[in-house]
Amino acid sequence: MSYQDIQFSAAELNRYQRHLSIPGFGLEGQQKLKAAKVLVIGAGGLGSPLLMYLAAAGVGHIGIVDFDVVEDSNLQRQVLFGEADLGILKVEAAKRRLEALNPHIRITLHPEKLSAQNALNILMDYDLVADGSDNFPTRYLVNDACVLLGKTNVFAAVSRFEGQVSVFNYPDHQGNFGPNYRDLHPVPPPPGLVPDCAEGGVLGVLPGIIGSLQALEVVKVITGLGEVLHDRIFIFDGLHFETRTFKIRKRADNPLNGEKPTISQLIDYEEFCRVQSPGKPVRELSIAEFLQWQASGETFQLIDVREPEEYAAANIGGELMPLSTILKSEQQISREVKVVVHCKSGSRSAKAIRELETAFGFENLYNLKGGLDAYLVSVFIAR
């Protein structure tokens, strides 16, 4: 069905009247929004304002990819949720909130972790993608899937007081696609160099600002209005209230669509991001293996390298040894039994293990893959 064939009820026309009265937007712009299918990656800090504004604007079909559950620590910035949602899958809580906000749209849930195995099948049903993920493997995965499928990727990221927005793989009037994420970041930074939100923190209002700008770019891409950030990246410094915009140029050595492409299918993005760091990879323990160790009575020491306030909010009984002081805790770490180290997502614990192995030669350390987040999701699903 063409967007020109889209019809509105009297209730919808009344709801969207402020859009309809904008010169150059009008009924045609609203028809394009209702006809659009947008996939949002992540229902967290960025996903919350992004989803609410897309739903309120009248985007007809919104897909949400997220496998996490709502936690207390989310409520400082993830305004899509409230205390009544604690312990509930984010996608389920988001669907309930968005349908209450706008009953005239369709919500499709993908309560799973995006991977090289499922990404193409999920993305292919949508017109464009809005990436609000918070880790490098997912960002590269979303980027590569969008390029391979010819989808536009509206990207955003936040950390501490700073946020970024850009539009990748946007086609011009001749059908030529613009720069993508690999033109901006050919390879990921070494693990630990760029802290995640759990380690580095983020000011609660910042995702609201950046997620709203991301929603703005999605609306502009759909309606064709204004100048899209398709070959630029916008950076907002909330601490000093400064903005900068940089030009992004296509790289000849881009492995996806450069002069000599080498990637024609999705790869192992966890491994891709891991091999960019010097030294051997850390030994990992899956959640399933960890649960099996617990069930079988395996002897091991469990260490939690998060901060005290995180530990107080939720923990699984590990000994608290924050990453910032881990090297001072060497005498407390066993060399006689297996030692499982965990954090929220697995990045800080991997860094802790590398520091301990380098400084003290430990050979019995295991990183709990996916950290506390993956553990809680596994337990939740099992129930």
Question: pLDDT tens digits for 178-231?
Answer: 999 999 988 887 655 555 555 566 788 999 999 999 999 999 999 999 999 999
Backbone φ, ψ for residue 280 (5° rounding): -75, 150
Does position 152 have pLDDT exceeding 70, yes or no? yes
Q: CA–CA distance from 179 to each of 137, 156, 217, 307, 325 (Å)?
A: 19, 15, 16, 38, 41
Residue 383 confidence (pLDDT): 47
Residue 380 binned pLDDT confidence (cut-offs 50, 70, 90): low
Does position 331 have pLDDT exceeding 60, yes or no? yes
Q: Spot the catalytic one: 62, 142, 229, 343.
A: 343
Residue 280 confidence (pLDDT): 61
Name the average pLDDT for the chain.
90
Element (H, E) at 140: helix 136-149
Residue 196 confidence (pLDDT): 57
Residue 321 confidence (pLDDT): 93
Residue 278 confidence (pLDDT): 47
Instruction: Walk across the sheet containing 242-247 and list its strands.
Output: 106-110, 61-65, 37-41, 128-131, 152-159, 162-168, 232-237, 242-247
Q: CA–CA distance from 187 to each of 156, 163, 303, 364 (Å)?
A: 18, 20, 31, 30
Q: Tell me if the pTM is above 0.85.
A: no
The rounded distance, in Å, linking the Cα atoms of 157 and 195 is: 12
Residue 293 confidence (pLDDT): 93
Known catalytic membership, residue 343: yes
Residue 142 binned pLDDT confidence (cut-offs 50, 70, 90): very high
Residue 204 confidence (pLDDT): 83
Question: Is the alpha carbon torsion for 327, 329, 331, 332 positive or negative?
Answer: negative
Known catalytic membership, residue 197: yes
**Residue 288 CA from chain centroid, whole number:** 23
Q: Which of 224 and 377 is assigned the larger pLDDT? A: 224
Q: What is the per-residue pLDDT across 295-307, written as a single tens digit (0 to 9) for each?
A: 899 999 999 999 8
Q: What is the per-residue pLDDT across 318-328, written as a single tens digit (0 to 9) for each?
A: 999 999 889 88
Which part of the chain is CATH 3.40.50.720? 36-274
Residue 269 confidence (pLDDT): 87
CATH of 284-382, one of 3.90.1150.10, 1.10.10.10, 3.50.50.60, 3.40.250.10: 3.40.250.10
- Which of 12, 127, 7, 11 has its CA nearest to residue 62? 127
Does position 26 have pLDDT exceeding 50, yes or no? yes
Does position 91 have pLDDT exceeding 80, yes or no? yes
**Is 36-274 CATH 3.40.50.720?**
yes
The full length of the chain comes to 383
Q: What is the per-residue pLDDT across 236-285, written as a single tens digit (0 to 9) for each?
A: 999 999 999 999 999 999 999 999 999 999 988 888 887 554 456 789 99
Amino acid at 124: M
Angle at 14 between CA 10 and CA 20, to 5 degrees: 110
- Per-residue pLDDT, averaged over 1-20, amounts to 91
- Which of 266, 51, 35, 272 has its CA nearest to residue 156? 51
Which part of the chain is CATH 3.40.250.10? 284-382
Q: Spot the catalytic one: 46, 148, 197, 256.
A: 197
The rounded distance, in Å, linking the Cα atoms of 209 and 129 is: 19
